[in-house]
Amino acid sequence: HHLLIDVEKLPDLDKPIPADDHHVHFGKGQTEALIELSPGAHTLQLLLGDFSHIPHDTAITSEKITIKVVE
């Protein structure tokens, strides 16, 4: 699974999901992670991909949520 952070739209669903500060890969079955975010509003969304990080033909995503980080 992949965590999308502050991404306005889904990445190209025909290509591997990028690996950067906005697209965090969890390929080892992690159930938790520590993500450091600056104070303010942030969006989070999950996107499932295959072993090559390519999203499924019908994208499987969570709802996008907005969180507020405080100091």
Instruction: Please count the structural domains in the chain.
Output: 1
- Structural domain including 64 reads 1-71
Q: What is the pLDDT of residues 45-67, one digit of tens each?
A: 999 999 899 999 899 999 999 99
Q: pTM higher than 0.85 for the full model?
A: yes
Per-residue pLDDT tens for 20-50? 999 999 878 788 889 999 999 999 999 999 9
- Angstrom CA distances, 54 to 27, 34, 41, 57, 68, stand at 12, 24, 28, 9, 30
